[in-house]
Copies of this chain bind each other. A is one copy, B any other.
Amino acid sequence: MKNTVSLKKQQGTCTVPCFDHDKVNAIRSTLDKERDRLPELADFYKLLGSSKRLKILLALAEGELCVCDLAHVLELSVAATSHQLKLLRDKGWLRKRDDGKMVYYRLHSADLLKALKSDLKMLETRLR
């Protein structure tokens, strides 16, 4: 019955044997400080977790484009393109400009592109 595992604390109602109560609580209280920011960061990454949406952001790097031109760039239906644009716009990364019947989209934040390129470079240069 005695091994390295049993040396660790088993407190209260927890039934999992290897539970290092103090260590886990310390980490939990540390992470608790990020309680609000973590889901926000996760949502941010979730939004960028799509080749189509990344393409939109890169396509707009040079300047604004109308929805149907973006649809051609993405090789996607206009409806689906509009849907993806809305997702990016709702989070404040894109702005739209109405010009008669046409709607033009542009980047709202230069920081986003910088972060994107920074992450891309990190991916490329990491050792595998």
Contact = CB atoms under 8 A, between A and B. Distances in A.
Contact of A69 (B3, B20, B66): B20
Contacts of A76: 7
A41 B119 contact: yes
Contact of A72 (B19, B65, B112, B120): B19
Categorize the interface residue count of chain A: 35 or more
Interface in A95-121: 100-102, 109, 111-112, 114-116, 118-120
Interface string A74-97: 011110000000000000100000
B75 A3 contact: yes
B51 A39 contact: yes
Most central of A8, A10, A19, A41 by chain B CB within 10 Å: A41
Interface of A: 3-5, 7-8, 10, 14, 16-20, 23-24, 27-28, 30-31, 34, 37-51, 53-55, 58-59, 62, 65-66, 68-69, 71-73, 75-78, 92, 100-102, 109, 111-112, 114-116, 118-120, 122-128
**Can you list the 4 inter-chain pairs with the closest CB atoms, starting with the nearest?**
A46-B49, A45-B48, A45-B49, A42-B51
